[in-house]
Chain A
């Protein structure tokens, strides 16, 4: 892309890596509900969302390939945890359904806003993907909102579970917005307005939804940072080992 100088390419790569890695890892976690969902519709929902996320990550990795990185499979399947840029929120195990649901609620609202912001990006190939993805993710946020509202207003147990899952997930969710090295470059080139701008929009929308559900946002939470620079929880490497098991045995395996 001719409007890119080297500085812009580096900044765009950083943005693409964190987005693609988040999608790949949350997609893999979502797929762990296949066959285990509390009801059949939820089994299908998490499996479908897994499929969407994996598809989205692949197209984002393809953009990285255009910018000179290895192809999508190589990037997805041959890096170790230190080379991943996902936030800690997405890498934690699925836990119980309440945690998976709250994580999905907090994460997908952030992604929906991120795609919305990228629709007008000066990086046209990314803007095209954002236009596509935002039509898909509206079903994810719709799914999350419906269940959070229902369970937060269900019985005592469901409300307690939603609140306790929110308390646990909230500091991790703030880690989505860990500032990167290239925020100014991205903003000045009109590629992406930045994590701080995203967090501001997200906070407004998510606060309204949480308040409507009758839940309380934890006070004084410290954001969990580190994921964007390759520091991860002990849960990521085992996930990568499992995800790459077939590829490691036979990189040309096809089915």
Chain B
């Protein structure tokens, strides 16, 4: 069997490696499940080009994530040159977070964002289900939280403050 054929990587192989790269600000979720890996190109010689899209324009984790992607793929000796690019070509929205990713957020105590909310409907934040007791009797305290992607809420049922992942 030809050696080159044996080691030819697929887009899915790369995706599997990238599942190990976590969001530095929300470690339980991988960048793949977060939905920011928008394109993976693998050449005949196993050069890999990965395209990421920013969650928020001012997200300080973006540069770090580019580095983490590069570092992870460079561990695979059979891969060629690794390049990582950030592009706004695909606009990231919270609908790109996978089901597995939403599950991870919930386990982390972060209310997952509602889906398909469109751009301008804001009252969707007011009854965000509590990640601890699932009650919808909750109040939005502030659309701004400890990171750009999170909002602050209070659960009137279990009387706990919690954070949500804001839908964008």
Contact = CB atoms under 8 A, between A and B. Distances in A.
Interface residues on B, range: 20 to 34
A138 B119 contact: yes
A168 B146 CA distance: 33
A45 B119 contact: no
Interface stretch (A10-18, A51-59, A71-79, A103-111): A51-59
Given A41-B152, A52-B148, A128-B89, A135 B119 contact: yes
A139 B57 contact: no
A91 B152 CA distance: 30
Interface stretch (B24-32, B36-44, B136-144): B136-144
A133 interface: yes
Given A52-B56, A54-B58, A142-B122, A135 B93 contact: yes
B93 A41 contact: no
A55 B144 contact: no
Interface string A23-58: 000000000000000000100110111011111101
Contacts of A56: 57-58
B160 to A, nearest CB: 17
Contacts of B57: 52, 55-56, 58-59, 129, 132-133, 136
A5 B156 CA distance: 59
A55 B143 contact: no
Contact of A44 (B58, B91, B119, B145): B145
Interface of B: 54, 56-60, 88-89, 91-93, 119-120, 122, 141-146, 148, 152, 166, 168
Nearest 3 A/B pairs, CB to CB: A55-B58, A55-B57, A128-B88
